[in-house]
Structure 1
Amino acid sequence: MIGAVVPAHNEEALLGCCLAALAVAARHAALAGETVRIVVVFDACTDRSEAVASAVGVEVVSVAARNVGVARAAGAARLLAAGARWLAFTDADSRVSPDWLAVQLSLGVEAVCGSVCVDDWSAQPSAVREIFARVYRDADGHRHVHGANLGVCASAYRRAGGFPPFACSEDVALVERLIAIGAKVAWSAAPRVVTSARATARVRGGFGDTLAVWASG
């Protein structure tokens, strides 16, 4: 079984599109009918995010940590207990490509760090898009780490100790641990994820916060 984890804190506006894209990826022909279980981890939600998830019938876990590391780890724990062999992670403000899971698995590695792209820059000044185009490497061999586009086999995840309870950069910490234990990591632009360039960042130090810094600079 393949598992996909989506942490969410008050994401009712974007969660539906995220889950619709995941549902398509879960039915990709290259997966040969293997079961894909999607778990949304609600972290201290006070909006209608849970109703959005319930409407499409995905599994849910609730925590009250306001901590994305705790949320991702909770989703991973649910899926590992159910027998997942591969864990894929994205964010509630992101949309994965139809072949996202299939491509991660096709790379034949223990972990996949994917890149991200943005298709709507309307919430940001034009300078932010220009800076992103100049400094971001969306190509194989990049060294970006995004919780919105990350995959890891169950055994390597366990050996690395899983996500630490960090409010930010939990994804970077996990990848650093994977590298430290000698896991084979692919830095690939093949698994595609479109993410939000919204002006209001949800996590200090995350992608949205980086864009905010560029916008204010």
Structure 2
Amino acid sequence: MSAADLLPILRGLPWTLGLTLGAFLIGALLGMPLLAARQSRSVPLRGLSMTIIQIVRGIPPILWLFIVFFGLGTGYLPISPFGAAVASLGLISAANMAEIYRGALASIHPGQWEASSALNLGRWSTLVDIVAPQTFRVALPSAASYLIGLMKETAVASTIGVTELTFYGNQQSQLTFRGLEVFAVVGLIYVLISLPVAWLSRIADSYLQAKVAR
């Protein structure tokens, strides 16, 4: 496969990265209030958050894209294909990140809270200075794995016209009639851009593990 065939495909790389980071940031932020509701002492609030998480995670990503872009975007809320993809994948990301946070928080021994109370530390201080750093370290590997998975899920955005890697790969395969070569290259690009995420997550995990241990 020549460079002339590769360059058109690479035009989709910024869109893939932008879509991945946008959706992940939305999920990382919205996952926190979802977690707070999930851990609430209010039974209705806890039930509502659990229902939202189960519904969001139970519907395929491509269907969420169609709901937002063709459903809400047709007459109700005009939205671009990229905006619809970010919103859809961001919603899915929020539900998944809430569960990642919940699992990480559950791994923190209750004795941490009791010891902090014995030292007369306030609840907020305990959460920010003691529990949160440990929770973040535990959640980091799962969050990094989800980020890599989310990067691959962005391929479905091509179905609504987002010009990301898979979109241009499909376009190039139709022009060259070499689908196997083209999509093998597209797959290799996804692998290559996921490697730095895995590498950085390992470095961050080692750093946080050493910091928490001190």
**TM-score bin (small chain):** under 0.3
Instruction: Give the structure-2-normalised TM-score.
Output: 0.25
Which structure: larger Rg?
A: 2
The structure carrying a bigger strand percent of its residues is 1
